[in-house]
Amino acid sequence: MRLKDKWALVTGGSRGIGKGICIGLAKEGCNVVLNYVGNRAAAEETVGILQDLGVAAEAIQANVGIRADVERMIAEATASHQLDILVGNAGVVDMQPFLEITPEAWSYQMDTNLLGSFNIGQVMGRYFVDNNISGKIVFVTSFNQEVPNATQGVYSISKSGIKMLAKVMALELAEYGINVNTIAAGAVITDINKKQVEMFPGLVDRLNKIIPLHRWGTVEDMAHAAVYLASSESDYVTGSTIFVEGGIMINNGMMINVVEE
């Protein structure tokens, strides 16, 4: 077991990719504090799954976009055990064409995704430094950290910002033995894109064609990368990104034409 007796904090660990990462960490013996914002039932269900895997687990409510919430959560989580790993995964998306983006939609996504990553990253970074912990920090971004999706402008900007946040943190925290990396996730069917998948019935098949590996990602795909970046196997990796997106970025949209013609 690669993470036996470690403790990880996973933001947005109640559902979707965060839940999958919690399970992946737990399978390697890692105890987990999982964070959620509103869905207590889902958080408790995930805690139960983790405990059944034989690790200790607890859930703490906090909005990562609110600094006081994040400080309270970390104080609570570290009161009874040492944290070794942070997975900053909490994220939201809202779809608007660029000319229709409202200030509210901008704030909603930037506050959760980018400000939330800064809040959790800085408070945990300070905790690691003050306690001489060679911590591992992993942010879940998206392939949109590199290329935008139409109608997901704010989301893409926020993910690009997290990529640079991780590089800044990696540079300045390296001397404390802290590694900071991102996972650029590809498309995974979760609650975050359920509406989109329902609105565009052809989307699932279309992506299966466009993606060079011809399938959507799974939460387990993301968990494998998170376990690697949380473990000592990645000690010489920092300021970096693992792309777990089936090759979608190397395709440039060409394969769909080839397949269709």
Ligand X SMILES: NC(=O)c1ccc[n+]([C@@H]2O[C@H](COP(=O)([O-])OP(=O)(O)OC[C@H]3O[C@@H](n4cnc5c(N)ncnc54)[C@H](OP(=O)(O)O)[C@@H]3O)[C@@H](O)[C@H]2O)c1
Which residues make up the interface to ligand X (CB under 6 A)?
11-12, 14-18, 35-39, 42, 63-65, 89-92, 112, 116, 140, 142, 185, 187-188, 190-193
3-state SS string for the chain? CCCCCCEEEECCCCCHHHHHHHHHHHHCCCEEEEEECCCHHHHHHHHHHHHHCCCCEEEEECCCCCHHHHHHHHHHHHHHCCCCEEEECCCCCCCECHHHCCHHHHHHHHHHHHHHHHHHHHHHHHHHHHCCCCCEEEEECCHHHCCCCCCEHHHHHHHHHHHHHHHHHHHHHHHHCCEEEEEEECCECCHHHHHHHHHCCCHHHHHHHHCCCCCCECHHHHHHHHHHHHCHHHCCCCCCEEEECCCHHHHCCHHHHHHHC
- Integer Rg of the chain from CA: 18
CB of 107 to ligand X, least distance (A): 12
CB nearer to ligand X: pick between 11 and 234: 11
CB of 252 to ligand X, least distance (A): 19
3-state SS string for 169-216? HHHHHHHHCCEEEEEEECCECCHHHHHHHHHCCCHHHHHHHHCCCCCC
CB nearer to ligand X: pick between 42 and 83: 42
Task: State yes or no: is 236 an active-site residue.
Answer: no
CB nearer to ligand X: pick between 142 and 234: 142
CB nearer to ligand X: pick between 20 and 125: 20
CB nearer to ligand X: pick between 140 and 225: 140
CB of 261 to ligand X, least distance (A): 28
Active-site annotation holder among 36, 108, 127, 155: 155
| Catalytic residue numbers, as ranges | 155
